Amino acid sequence: MASIPPQVSIIEDAKPLVLIVDDSVDVHRLLRTRLNQEDLTFAGAESGEAGIEMAIRLRPAVVLLDLNMPGTDGFAVLKRLKDHPATSAIPVLMLSGHRDQDAKVRAFDLGAVDYITKPFDFTELRVRMRSAVKMHQLVQMLAQRAQIDGLTGCWNRAFFDTRWAEETSRAQRHGHALSMAMLDVDHFKSINDTYGHPAGDAVLQGVAKILERECRTSDFACRYGGEEFVLVMPDTPPESAAHVCERIRAAMEAAVWPRHPERVVTISIGVAGAGGPASVNAAEWLETSDRYLYRAKRTGRNRVEVCDLSKETMGRLRVAG
């Protein structure tokens, strides 16, 4: 099943992770003991540098950060967490043994969401922790919603742009196989013109359902724009991608549409893939897939045209429909 988000929820299966960054082992032990009734998991770092590394790697829901640590102090850690794209949205609660007003102001200016003084009032700490975790979950929910196409439920263009860059970089770095397909609904304008825009919307929603049903868990599908979709298939050479896309093409051709059961709706697909390293960048890869999509359009529609980027000659594997 393709990686299409069926529903967004702020409730996560895993317990939220709290990262404690404090040079005192006793503080780590105390916080874990007194917060053990909360639905949380914990990780700990005993220095600022270790805390930064763990926050980037683990992406916790909340960071509890001690202000006064040797070496890299809490202010420096906070600034680096807020400057790093992987950790900038993580709520940070500062912990300090001082009630210094200037320190509080500086912490909030640097992006802390709360400032808690020692010795802790654990009832207050629990409430503030719950608030920070809820804030993190809401931010995550909003971020995910911003990456989902409202009509089809597929990932949207913004999500694709980010993930595609990551996938091509990973494939080139490690020599992994990678394929992508661009899919376009044939004669889509005539569906809108003949049956109305609600019928056209139903077709786009149907494409998304077929992608979800016919693809693998590792694949992810995005609505690229209008009636175009993109399917990214990690660790998949072009020959295997061709079979996946042919299955999608056949399922689309066989679909019956309640608003126009007499009208067969088809798709054309262009695939660009490599079984190993390919000497193209992410943009060129996308352009090749788009070019092969239009080759499928020009040569009769309702077909899959495939380019193997790992070969010197752009060989074509034709899968006719």
Q: Which CATH architecture has domain 17-145?
A: 3-Layer(aba) Sandwich (3.40)
3-state secondary structure labels for all residues of 50-104: HHHHHHHHHCCCEEEEECCCCCCCHHHHHHHHHHCCCCCCCCEEEEECCCCHHHH
Contact residues for 12 (Cβ-Cβ < 8 A; gap 6+): 137
Distance of alpha carbon 143 from the chain centroid: 10
Q: Is the pLDDT of residue 7 over 80?
A: no
Which pLDDT tens digit goes with each residue over 115-162? 999 888 888 888 988 899 888 888 777 766 778 888 998 999 999 999
Average pLDDT over every residue of 218-227: 93
Q: Is the pTM of this model over 0.95?
A: no
Higher pLDDT, 118 or 232: 232
* pLDDT over threshold 70, residue 243: yes
Domain boundaries, the chain: 17-145, 157-319
CA neighbor of 66 nearest in space, from 124, 125, 132, 118: 118
User: Same CATH fold, 157-319 and 17-145?
Assistant: no
Place of tokens 């393709």: 2
What was the pLDDT predicted at 4?
A: 44
CATH of 157-319, one of 3.30.9.10, 3.30.1330.40, 3.40.50.300, 3.30.70.270: 3.30.70.270
